[in-house]
Amino acid sequence: MNLTMAKALNEGMRRAMAEDKSVLVMGEEVGQLGGVFRITEGLMSEFGPARVFDTPLAESGIVGTAIGLAMRGYRPICEIQFDGFVYPAFDQITTQLAKLTYRHEGSIQMPVVIRIPYGGHIGAVEHHQESPEAYFAHTAGLRIVSPATPHDAYWMIQEVAQQPDPVIFLEPKSRYWQKGEVNTDDPGPALHQAVVVKPGSDLTLIGHGAIVSMLLQVAEVAEQEGTSIEVVDLRSLAPIDWDVVVNSVQSTGRAVVVQEAPGNVSVGSEITATLAERCFYSLEAPVIRVSGFDIPFPPAQFEAAHLPSVDRILDAVDRALAY
């Protein structure tokens, strides 16, 4: 099928709910409205208000309720309307949800999925265009994934619904309306497996979520200039599939890590440090980072200057190749 990412997520949740009656969907306006981005549209009418239900506007309460439901054997999928709205639930996520299984020596499982639309490029206002992945990647006990294509969105939302651990499911909202082929018979790579989406020999570009499409654009431009670029889609940020990433960089000898989030103490920082450790004797140049600037997300009219662009990434590629 050729679906938008939004529709792929919708169909993926529908299939997960049909196959497992313990899967619930909850959040602000996820019921009759179908969510602010209409990702849950039609699910309440199909599965009923006992399995798809609206919550008060209280993110801490949403996650706290989900924790209680998980203790009673349910598999709640929570929707946070926008990335910047997740912080009221930060305490519940990092001090309770992430730790309860360990606190009880494995006797309690926390199969809770927290869906967060994240990232920029939609011209929104404050608290609606953020990239909070580093906060959660730093927290032991959480799995973190982010699909870059409708196919991955369709399958990954089903896979996380069956995990025994809590999952932060980051949805690149600027790609909600991007169409792509979805194979409903073949899930493809495993949930936490990184993928080489374009092979190359001169340099590796590494990214996740919405940035992957931009990396493919960069690779196409670089090819016209005679540079062979390999593109790696991380897909998972906790855990990171280091085998795929390291093998790629050892093969090309150069790497540029790209993210929308600010660069300071970020996922990109961790990847850069690990590559410096594990690929030291293969590197022909320093690993270079391209990220959002270390400022609060700016007003919409300045987001294009703040976020990585094809030109900024190409500049980093040129610097890496100059060594």
Residues serving a catalytic function are: 128
Cα separation, 304 vs 282, in Å, equals 34
Token readout for 29 is 């306006």
Cα separation, 38 vs 233, in Å, equals 26
Instruction: Name the residue with tokens 């989030």.
Output: 261
For residue 173, what are the contacts with CB-CB under 8 A and spacing of at least 6?
A: 37, 117, 118, 119, 122
| DSSP tally for the chain: helices H, then strands E | 12, 14
Which residues lie across from 115 on neighbouring strands? 79, 169
For residue 61, what are the contacts with CB-CB under 8 A and spacing of at least 6?
A: 55
Instruction: Name the residue with tokens 């203790």.
Output: 71
Which residues lie across from 8 on neighbouring strands? none
Q: Are 259 and 207 in contact (CB under 8 A)?
A: yes
Which residues lie across from 230 on neighbouring strands? 204
DSSP 8-state code for residue 88: G
Other C-beta atoms closer than 10 Å to the C-beta of 1 total 14
Cα separation, 147 vs 163, in Å, equals 16
Which residues lie across from 206 on neighbouring strands? 232, 257
For residue 243, what are the contacts with CB-CB under 8 A and spacing of at least 6?
A: none
